[in-house]
Chain A
Amino acid sequence: MHNTLRGEAVNTGPKQAVLLEALIVLLLATVIGIGSNWKLLSNALSGNVMAKASSGAAQTAIPLPLGLMQVKELFDKKEAVIIDSRDRNTYAGGHIKGAISLPLMDADKLIPELGSSVPKNAMLVVYCSGYACEDSIELGKQLISAGYGTVYYFDGGFPAWRDARYPIAGGKQ
Chain B
Amino acid sequence: MTGSILKHGIAIVRIVLGAIFLYAGVVKAGDTKAFAGSIEAYRLLPYFGNYLAASILPWVEIICGVLLVTGWRAKAGATVTILLNLVFIVAMASAVARGLEIDCGCFRQGAKDPPLLAIGRDILFLVMAGLVLLQDRLTANK
Contact = CB atoms under 8 A, between A and B. Distances in A.
A24 B101 CA distance: 35
A116 interface: no
Q: Name which of A9, A41, A65, A67 has the most chain B CB atoms within 10 A of its CB.
A: A65
A173 interface: no
A73 B101 contact: yes
Task: Please tell me the size bucket of the interface on B.
Answer: 35 or more
A131 to B, nearest CB: 7
A18 interface: yes
B56 A69 contact: no
A24 B52 CA distance: 18
B32 A40 contact: yes
Contact of B103 (A11, A12, A33, A68): A68
Q: Name which of B14, B57, B58, B80 has the most chain A CB atoms within 10 A of its CB.
A: B80
A26 B109 contact: no
A17 B129 CA distance: 17
B117 to A, nearest CB: 15
Given A9-B72, A33-B55, A40-B55, A60 B47 contact: yes
A3 B40 CA distance: 42
A37 B56 CA distance: 9
Contact of B41 (A30, A40, A67, A160): A67
Contacts of A36: 29, 55, 59
B83 A7 contact: no
Given A34-B56, A48-B47, A67 B80 contact: no
Interface string B35-58: 011101100000110111011111
Interface string A4-35: 11110111110000110110111011101110
Contacts of B50: 64
A70 interface: yes
A22 B10 CA distance: 20
Given A69-B101, A156-B110, A11 B59 contact: no
Contacts of A48: 47-48
Nearest to B101: A69
Interface of A: 3-7, 9-13, 18-19, 21-22, 24-26, 28-30, 32-34, 36-37, 40-41, 44-45, 47-48, 60, 64-70, 73, 131, 155-156, 160
Nearest first, the 7 closest Cβ-Cβ pairs linking A and B are A65-B37, A21-B76, A33-B56, A37-B55, A29-B59, A4-B71, A9-B71
